[in-house]
């Protein structure tokens, strides 16, 4: 069975889009109590019935870059349930256009577009859906701030195919491949930084499942904006050998990190 992303074989290959999800890697979900709003019904929103690599990657990207929120209106009792994804127009547009939007369409039947902020390089896409909001909440993904977010239990208890897909999605949002100049040449480091200790712990455990060595750090600095201590948790995967193993077992699905990796293979 072919992996949805081409395996790394020494030459860096860019990922292929999923065309069909295989039930071999799928785990049944039981979410019958999803509430569909009139807006959801009108737009023919669908909810996945299986945990597939495509859904796992979407959950990973959402935990890294997504935002869930509710919005009420003073003139109405109506509450809207929203999602928003933001990125840099130079670094992230390709991923938004070729990965995020097609994935949302395939998973939820969402027709989305990318909007660019006129005063900055920020791009974003957003939508409202009560059904998808309920679905994500039942998976254990919180709304609002994600300072205490973790990997959903359904992902942690899944097979390696699901875990690898989740890491690819999270990597597209919060990982980077740093290229350092050393006396012997270029040296790669895969870096992950988060404000959530629980997320860091879970990510480290998944990386251990793939037997990829890493180092982790806790960093406390004073936030210059608010003049308060700010704690972040960092994971580094150093060296060409470990980078190659990451590409063979997990890979990246965003052009930004794949381009950085191409300097080494």
Q: For the chain, how many structural domains are there in total? A: 1
Residue 167 CB: number of other CB atoms within 10 A? Answer: 26
Pairing of strands 122-128, 115-116: antiparallel
> Does residue 219 fall inside a structural domain?
yes
pLDDT at 59: 97
- pTM summary value: 0.86
DSSP class per residue in 226-258: TTEEEEEEEEEEESHHHHHHHHHHT---SHHHH
Q: Tell me if 257 is assigned to some domain.
A: yes
Residue 34 within any structural domain of the chain: yes
Rounded to whole angstroms, the Cα distance separating 162 from 112 reads: 25
Task: Tell me whether residue 110 is in a domain.
Answer: yes
pLDDT band, very low/low/confident/very high, at 39 (cuts 50, 70, 90): very high
Cβ-contact 179, 71 below 8 angstroms: no
Determine how many CB atoms are found less than 10 A away from the CB of residue 157.
11
Asked, for residue 13, whether it belongs to a domain, the answer is: no
For residue 195, give the CATH number of its domain: 3.10.28.10
**In this structure, how many other beta carbons lie within 10 angstroms of the beta carbon of residue 205?**
12
Stretch 128-140: mean pLDDT: 93
| Mean of all residue pLDDT scores within the chain | 87
Q: What is residue 221's predicted lDDT score, i.e. its pLDDT?
A: 86
- Bigger pLDDT: 233 or 228? 233
* 120: three-class secondary structure by DSSP: coil
Domain residues for the domain of 155 are 23-261
């Amino acid at each position: 069975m072919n992996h949805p992303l081409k395996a790394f074989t020494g030459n860096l290959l860019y990922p292929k889009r999923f065309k069909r999800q295989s039930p071999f890697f799928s785990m049944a979900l039981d979410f019958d109590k999803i509430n569909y709003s009139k807006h959801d019904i009108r737009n023919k929103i669908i909810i996945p019935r299986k945990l597939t690599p495509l859904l796992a990657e979407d959950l990973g990207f959402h935990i890294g870059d997504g935002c869930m929120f509710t919005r009420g209106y003073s003139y109405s009792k109506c509450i809207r349930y929203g999602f928003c994804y933001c990125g840099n127009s130079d670094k992230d547009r390709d991923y938004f256009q070729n990965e995020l939007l097609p994935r949302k369409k395939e998973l939820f039947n969402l027709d989305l577009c990318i909007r660019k902020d006129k005063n900055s390089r920020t791009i974003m896409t957003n939508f409202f859906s009560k059904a998808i909001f309920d679905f994500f909440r039942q998976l254990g993904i919180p709304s609002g701030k994600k300072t205490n977010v973790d990997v959903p239990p359904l992902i942690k208890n899944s097979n390696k195919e699901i875990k690898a897909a989740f890491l690819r999605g999270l990597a597209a949002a919060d990982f980077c491949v740093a290229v350092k100049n050393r006396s012997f040449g270029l040296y790669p480091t895969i870096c992950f930084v988060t404000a959530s200790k629980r997320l860091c712990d879970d990510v480290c455990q998944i990386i251990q499942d793939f037997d990829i060595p890493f180092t982790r750090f806790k960093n406390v600095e004073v936030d210059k904006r608010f003049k308060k201590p700010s704690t972040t948790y960092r994971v580094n995967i150093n060296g060409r050998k470990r980078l190659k193993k990451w590409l063979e077992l997990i890979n990246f699905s965003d052009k930004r990190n794949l381009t950085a990796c191409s300097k080494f293979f």
